[in-house]
A and B are shown apart, each in its own frame.
Chain A
Amino acid sequence: GAVVSQHPSWVICKSGTSVKIECRSLDFQATTMFWYRQFPKQSLMLMATSNEGSKATYEQGVEKDKFLINHASLTLSTLTVTSAHPEDSSFYICSARVASGYNEQFFGPGTRLTVL
């Protein structure tokens, strides 16, 4: 299957700082990537759809000014959590869509964010 990487795999930051998470498709081009958040023992929650060369589409209830998404190339999308607070601590996972397939999504390994 297609390979998606994420960096960093984990990060600890102080409250009020910003954290950037990178998502890369390593062996295919991804015009569409997705950002999810998952709290312990809960299901995946889609945060936003990231489209190459255009603005991201955010799900209802997700603050676009707090979770900045940039999809500057066909292989890279970034999520920046601005002014992070302890309640933002979660497992953030990106996925990339294979354009030539049946819309299957391949997930990155995830980034575990802890805000102190």
Chain B
Amino acid sequence: QKEVEQNSGPLSVPEGAIASLNCTYSDRGSQSFFWYRQYSGKSPELIMFIYSNGDKEDGRFTAQLNKASQYVSLLIRDSQPSDSATYLCAVNWGGSNYKLTFGKGTLLTVNP
């Protein structure tokens, strides 16, 4: 059973701080990794994806991937109250079915 694990939170950070969200996955052969943001009552929105070891930066967001440790993280710099949402980690295991397996999500609250 291929699994994606996330701390459910809630993770609470003050405005302006760095929020660090973590995710582990069970299959060492996994190929691509995604972070989605989901506001309450809305559908998920793709923030970033990463497929190579190391860091990938986009604005205030940095995704970090360590395939040896089967670990992917998302850093949000200068956190804003509008960043308060559930963050979903998703993994594509490869192969031809293109499915993503989602973690249960981490609820982030940014306090003004």
Using CB atoms and an 8 Å cutoff, list the residues of chain A in contact with chain B. Answer: 1, 32, 34, 43-44, 46, 49, 57, 93, 97, 102-110
- Residue with the greatest number of chain B CB neighbours at <10 A, chosen from A32, A44, A104, A106: A44
Number of contacting residues on B, CB 8 A? 22
Number of A-B contacts (CB under 8 A): 50
Using CB atoms and an 8 Å cutoff, list the residues of chain B in contact with chain A. Answer: 31-32, 34, 36, 42-46, 49, 51, 88, 90, 92, 97-100, 102-105
Q: Which residue of A lies closest to B102 (CB)?
A: A44
The complex places the Cα of A106 from the Cα of B46 at a distance, in Å, of 7
The residues of B that contact A109 with a CB separation of less than 8 Å are 42-43
The complex places the Cα of A104 from the Cα of B32 at a distance, in Å, of 9
Query: Contact partner of A49 among B31, B44, B90, B97, CB < 8 A?
Result: B97
